[in-house]
């Protein structure tokens, strides 16, 4: 039971960090939070990095946000 509680708490903490990062990206890129998550997900897949680590970096200091413009163009192509 204690292990399950720890797992659930870890999942909740990760979710909070990811939500904070989505909010920061939505603000920085002027997109919806759903689009921000797509940008984040595309970036981590393309760069083979962990979602939670990237989200934590963004949530801690949005200036650390990786350049997601390439991911944004891949998701929503437009003028370069």
| Residue 64 pLDDT | 78
Q: Say which residue, 61 or 80, is predicted with more confidence.
A: 61
Q: Check pLDDT > 90 for residue 70.
A: no
pLDDT tens digits for 16-64?
A: 999 999 999 999 989 999 999 999 999 999 889 999 999 999 999 888 7
Residues 6+ apart with CB under 8 A from 46: 70, 71, 74
| Residue 80 pLDDT | 45
Q: Is the pTM of this model over 0.85?
A: no
| Residue 13 pLDDT | 83
């Amino acid at each position: 039971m204690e292990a399950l509680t720890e797992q659930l708490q870890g999942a909740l903490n990760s979710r909070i960090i990811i939500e904070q990062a989505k909010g920061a990206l939505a603000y920085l890129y002027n997109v919806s939070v759903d689009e921000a998550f797509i940008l984040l997900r595309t970036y981590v897949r393309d760069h083979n990095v962990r979602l939670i680590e990237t989200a934590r970096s963004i949530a801690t200091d949005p200036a650390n946000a990786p350049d997601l413009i390439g991911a944004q163009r891949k998701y929503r192509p437009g003028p370069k």
